[in-house]
Amino acid sequence: MLRTALLTAAGSPACRSLVERSPLTRPVVRRFVAGAGVDDAITVTRELAGSGRLVTLDHLGEDTTDAAMAAATVKAYVELLALLADSGLADRAEVSVKLSAVGQRLPDGDRVALDNARRICEAAAAAGTTVTLDMEDHTTTDATLGVLRELRADFPWVGAVLQAYLKRTEQDCRDLAYPGSRVRLCKGAYSEPPSVAYPDKSEVDRSYVRCLRVLMAGEGYPMVATHDPRMIAIAAELGKDRPGWEYQMLYGIRDAEQRRLAGGGRMRVYVPYGDEWYGYFMRRLAERPANLAFFLRALLTG
Ligand code: FDA
Residue 266 has pLDDT above 80, yes or no: yes
Does 189 contact ligand 1 (Cβ within 6 A)?
A: yes
pLDDT at 292: 75
HSE-up of 283 (CA within 13 Å, CB side)? 15
Parallel, antiparallel, or unpaired: how do β-strands 93-97 and 182-186 relate? unpaired
Q: How many CB atoms lie within 10 A of CB 48?
A: 25
Say whether pLDDT at 302 is over 70: no
207 alpha carbon to ligand 1 midpoint, in Å?
Answer: 15
- Please give the Cα distance from 204 to 252 (Å, whole number): 23
Q: What is the rounded CA–CA span in Å between residue 132 and residue 11?
A: 24
Which of 110, 134, 137, 205 is labelled catalytic?
A: 134
- 134 carries an active-site annotation: yes
Q: Is the CB of 127 under 6 A from ligand 1?
A: no
What pLDDT is stored for residue 4 in this prediction?
Answer: 83
Q: Is the CB of 161 under 6 A from ligand 1?
A: yes
Q: Is the pLDDT of residue 22 over 80?
A: no
Catalytic (active site) residue 184? yes
150-157 CB contacts, 8 Å cutoff, 24+ apart: 150/114, 151/114, 151/117, 151/118, 151/121, 152/181, 154/118, 154/121, 155/121, 155/124, 155/125, 155/131, 156/180, 157/130, 157/131, 157/182
- Note whether 82 and 42 are within 8 A (CB): no
Q: Where are the beta strands (DSSP E) in 211-264?
A: 221-225, 246-250
The residue-averaged pLDDT of 12-41 equals 81
CA angle 160, 93, 114 (to 5 degrees): 40
230 lines ligand 1 (CB under 6 A): no
State the distance from the centre of ligand 1 to the C-alpha of 44, rounded, in angstroms: 20
Check pLDDT > 60 for residue 51: yes
Model confidence at 291, in pLDDT bands (50, 70, 90)? confident
pLDDT at 283: 83
Domains and their CATH numbers in the chain: 1-33+278-302 (no CATH), 37-277 (3.20.20.220)
pTM strictly above 0.85: yes
Asked whether the predicted pLDDT for residue 262 surpasses 70, the reply is yes
Task: Output the CA torsion sign for 145, 147, 149, 155.
Answer: negative
The mean predicted confidence, pLDDT, of the chain is 92
Query: Annotated catalytic residue: which of 118, 152, 182, 184?
Result: 184
Residue 20 has pLDDT above 80, yes or no: no
* 184 pLDDT higher than 90: yes
Our answer on whether the CB atom of 270 is closer than 6 Å to any ligand 1 atom is: yes
**Ligand 1 centre and the CA of 217: distance in Å?**
23
Quote the ligand 1 centre to 115 CA distance (angstroms): 30
At 234 the pLDDT is 98
Give the position, in ligand 1's atom list, of the atom nearest the Cα of 291.
18
Return the bridge partners of 224, or none.
185, 247
